[in-house]
Amino acid sequence: MKQATGAARGFWQLSGFVLAAGLLCTIPVPTQAALPWQAADGQGVPSLAPLLEKISPAVVNIATHGTTEVRNPLADNPMFEDPFFRRFFGVPDGPQTQETQSLGSGVIVDARKGYILTNAHVIKGADEIKVNLIDEREFTAKVIGADEETDVALIQIDAKNLTELPLADSDKTRPGDFVVAIGNPFGLRHTVTSGIVSATGRSGIGDPDSFQDYIQTDASINPGNSGGGLVNFQGELIGLNSAILSRSGGNIGIGFAIPSNIARQVMQQLIQYGQVKRGRLGVVVQNITPDLAKAFGLSSNSGVLVAQVQPGSAADKAGVKPEDVILSINGRAVQNYRELRNTIGLLRVGDKLTLEILRGGKRQVINTSVGEVIETQQAASKSVANPKLEGAQFATAEEGSGVEVSDLKPQSPAARNGLRPGDVITAVNRRPVRSVDEFQRAVKGQETLLLTLNRGPGSLFLVIK
């Protein structure tokens, strides 16, 4: 078929526009009573003003003042150990300090007790914290506690006639839900933006060791919004605005909030202990890839695979074993390592746990409790000789506990297949190996290798095809 002429193309585009407009005209418009955010002016104009008038008094401005140590780079020069040279070049004696200031936001969550949730990074290093309310009242706040791993902090003011926001069940939040973000971006007090929840369960933002289960939103969040509220259209707090993804430092429509359920759990511990007493189950796990699922005969990628059980841990005492697949904790499905880490890490030491596991293709239920953090030496690991492992050299690990990757050439087949220097391989295709000789025999002629190895402080499975 020949291409349509410009006029014809214009006709079809216009026709499409008319058709689309006609379809839009047939969409039923909800009545005023069906819109909880409708303006009460009798004009039928949709507005968020009634909602904002209700929730804005619960969002506060936080200004902090502190000091930080500043080190003169000349002070590291041995020549300036002489007081004469220090005076001559104007290098002051001893450490120097400078004043710091920061602005952020917070949300009142208990009006009677004056509790305010905010971000830990907002009040970090603060010597003085001032809280300003929407009615222009100002109070000095005290810190109840802060948890940098979740970036949640709790402060308190002594004030009356406060407004609080109820905490929603953030697990019920869905992509597409309408939300508003309230805070003080760039010092512009009580700025409100609106948008939707773009995604839930976001992780890998910033510090990889922090507990992350962010709600992503396109409601505009900028510097100064930190600690402010992400609120649903029922007037409930679903998250604390915490971070943005941006090359310029300004908003590009990708912002992140800490879910209210995480904030609630942290707040409860901060009130009780002044800190978060984080427990451990005592397992090293990894996400189940399609290759691992096939190697272990699993029907799906659901759950997390136990690679190692820490001796003396809660998991060890409860009978959890390597190669178990943890499917759920306390009835809540676990899809990946981060979900397991968040669930366990936000529970108190001693809290009861019901684990649903898959062992040998059969489901089992194990009852245990959150244990305390214990220190132990990690076992050694292994490596192999096979065309897929070329470029790696192996040595028997200490006490015959496996085979260590003693050397590895960059970009070699072994490196491309996932081995790292220092890896200690303890089993090949689920059979233990204690020496290089055993390892060589185990990998010889194998098309697919399932390696059980220790890397750093943990263990994992590596499939090489």
pLDDT of 90? 65
What are the chain's domains?
Answer: 56-73+98-156 (2.40.10.10), 170-273 (2.40.10.10), 283-369 (2.30.42.10), 387-464 (2.30.42.10)
Does residue 4 carry a pLDDT above 60?
no
**Angstrom distance (rounded) from CA 238 to CA 213:** 13
Question: What pLDDT, on a 0 to 100 scale, did the predictor assign at position 240?
Answer: 95
Strand partners, 394: 405
**Given 105, 226, 242, 328, the catalytic residue:** 226
Residue 89 banded pLDDT, cuts 50, 70, 90? low
Q: What's the pLDDT score for residue 379?
A: 33
Q: CA–CA separation, 403 vs 425, rounded Å?
A: 5
Q: Is the pLDDT of residue 345 over 50?
A: yes
Predicted local confidence at residue 257, as pLDDT: 94
- List pLDDT tens digits, range 394-407: 887 765 678 888 77
* Residue-level pLDDT at 3: 39
The predicted-structure confidence for 131-187, as pLDDT tens digits, reads as follows 999 999 999 999 999 998 899 999 999 999 999 999 999 989 999 999 999 998 887
| pLDDT for res 39 | 46
Task: Judge whether 121 counts as a catalytic residue.
Answer: yes
Buried b (16+ CB within 10 A) or exposed e, 248-272: eeebeebbbbbbbbbbbbbbebbee
151 is catalytic: yes
* Catalytic-labelled residue, pool 151, 218, 324, 423: 151
Which one of 47, 65, 121, 412 is the catalytic residue?
121
Q: Mean pLDDT lowest for which of 70-79, 240-249, 260-269?
A: 70-79
Determine whether 110 is an active site residue. Answer: no
Of the listed ranges 17-31, 326-340, 349-363, the one predicted with least confidence: 17-31
Could you tell me the pTM of the whole model? Answer: 0.65
- The mean pLDDT value of the chain amounts to 79
Phi/psi of residue 389, nearest 5 degrees: -115, 15
In contact, 302 and 289? CB cutoff 8 Å: no
pLDDT one-digit tens code per residue, 415-447: 888 888 888 888 888 888 888 888 888 888 888
CA–CA separation, 55 and 165 (whole Å): 7
The CA distance from 61 to 185, in Å, is: 10
When pLDDT is averaged across residues 107-113 and rounded to a whole number, the result is 96
